[in-house]
Amino acid sequence: MSQPVISVHDLVKTYGKVEAVRGIDLEVGAGEIFGFLGPNGAGKSTTISILCTLIRPTSGVAEVAGIDVLKDPSAVRARIGLVFQDPSLDGQLTGRENLDFHAYLYGLPAATRRQRIDDALSIVELTDRAGSTVLTYSGGMRRRLEIARGILHYPQVLFLDEPTLGLDPQTRNKIWDYLHAVRTREHITIFMTTHYMDEAEFCDRIAIIDQGKIVALGTPAELKSKVGGDVVSIATPDMAGAAEQLRTVMHLESTQVDGTLQFEVPDSSSFMPRLFSELTVPITTVSARRPSLDDVFLKLTGRAIREQSNTSLDTMRNMGRIWGGGRR
């Protein structure tokens, strides 16, 4: 990475006594798709908001496109594209009008404005629907339009905050196809947050953030190799006994996840016969799989990253989605 597009050093953000971000360091190279991964409240949105100049950091340095976010926020904003967590389109305008609005705000030259909007629409395959009001768009289409809008002014970095939140899995995968197309066509760096572990696999590199700190950083393969071997999970009526026996007899540390005991072994197929012969507690089910990023998170933090029950904020967001395009 000769010239990082994003570089962050010892970034801290506190709200009163609450430390949302507690000393983050990272660099992102040009053309990378960089994923910022962690549970709700880990500090992802705060960090991305600082990089987008929406929030001032308490201390530390953050540079985007070589510009300090504190020294020249306007210059940073001109060079970045944003896709917010919450929808931010005008439902009564057409897709094209929403892009036109953005083109004016960001000062796209009049001569190429129309062509550029056409190009952006075609990347996200919304050319046919460009003349319909956004009210008539599905959730996935709105996200695609927001991506087209985010890249319209030729930014060097596209920031996306939970771009796939609330979308069904098929739509989520399509969004990823578009993001990869955008990266290839626009030579753009993509920085995104997500709490879907499976999505992080689409990134070139990921940083796992927990309680305001980066706990792991690397390619998905590198992170998964930290788990080592296979993940075995067993279900048993006697959790405590099984965990005890795993520890004393087989020298394996297990973690309780969703009513099963999980642990890692170098090779699950040769391990299975030993499991049944050496454990005396009854075992109802056994499964083994290659490690996922969920396992990485579990190993690093001792907790599972999972969908938390809807907070009131999430509920409001969903209402925002329903009403977002509504009449106003």
One of 25, 27, 86, 125 touching other proteins (CB under 8 A):
86
Question: Among the candidate windows 48-56, 168-176, 263-271, 293-301, which touches other proteins by CB under 8 A?
Answer: 48-56
The number of C-alpha atoms within 13 Å of 42 and in the hemisphere containing its C-beta is 24
Q: What is the DSSP string of 117-139?
A: HHHHHHHTT-GGGTTSBGGG--H
Q: Is 320 in the site for other proteins (CB under 8 A)?
A: yes
Q: How far is the CB of 312 from other proteins (least distance, A)?
A: 14
Q: Is 52 in the site for other proteins (CB under 8 A)?
A: yes
Q: Is 70 in the site for other proteins (CB under 8 A)?
A: no
Interaction residues for other proteins, span 195-214 (CB under 8 A): 204
According to DSSP, the residues that pair with 214 across neighbouring strands are 209
One of 16, 17, 74, 270 touching other proteins (CB under 8 A):
74
Nearer to other proteins, 52 or 123 (CB): 52
Residue with tokens 């993940």: 231
Q: Is 57 in the site for other proteins (CB under 8 A)?
A: no
Q: Is 32 in the site for other proteins (CB under 8 A)?
A: yes
- What is the token pair recorded at 246? 């795993």
| SS3 of 200-232 | HCCCCEEEEEECCEEEEEECHHHHHHHHCCEEE
One of 44, 102, 174, 299 touching other proteins (CB under 8 A):
102
Spatial neighbors of 157 by CB under 8 A, at least 6 apart, are 5, 6, 28, 64, 65, 79, 80, 81, 188, 189, 190, 191
How many Cβ atoms are within 10 Å of 90's Cβ, its own excluded? 15
Q: How far is the CB of 149 from other proteins (least distance, A)?
A: 8
One of 27, 97, 118, 201 touching other proteins (CB under 8 A):
97
Q: Is 82 in the site for other proteins (CB under 8 A)?
A: yes
Q: Is 43 in the site for other proteins (CB under 8 A)?
A: no
Q: Is 29 in the site for other proteins (CB under 8 A)?
A: yes
Q: How far is the CB of 137 from other proteins (least distance, A)?
A: 14
3-state secondary structure of 147: helix
How many Cβ atoms are within 10 Å of 259's Cβ, its own excluded? 9
Size of the site for other proteins (CB under 8 A): 48
Instruction: Show the CA angle centred on residue 266, arms to residues 260 and 271, nearest 5°.
Output: 65
Q: How far is the CB of 82 from other proteins (least distance, A)?
A: 6
Cα–Cα dist 193/195, whole Å:
7
Interaction residues for other proteins, span 244-263 (CB under 8 A): none
Judge contact between 91 and 133, C-beta under 8 A: yes
Question: Among the candidate windows 99-107, 216-224, 232-240, 272-280, which touches other proteins by CB under 8 A?
Answer: 99-107
Judge contact between 17 and 202, C-beta under 8 A: no
Q: How far is the CB of 247 from other proteins (least distance, A)?
A: 44
Q: Is 101 in the site for other proteins (CB under 8 A)?
A: yes
Cα–Cα dist 128/122, whole Å:
9
One of 71, 105, 180, 237 touching other proteins (CB under 8 A):
105
- β-pairing, 157-161 vs 189-194, is parallel
State which H helix or E strand residue 248 sits in.
helix 239-250
Nearer to other proteins, 163 or 291 (CB): 163
Interaction residues for other proteins, span 107-166 (CB under 8 A): 107, 109, 112, 133, 149, 153-156
| Interface with other proteins (CB under 8 A) | 1-3, 29-32, 52-54, 74-75, 77-79, 82, 84, 86-93, 97, 100-102, 104-107, 109, 112, 133, 149, 153-156, 186-187, 204, 320, 323-324, 328
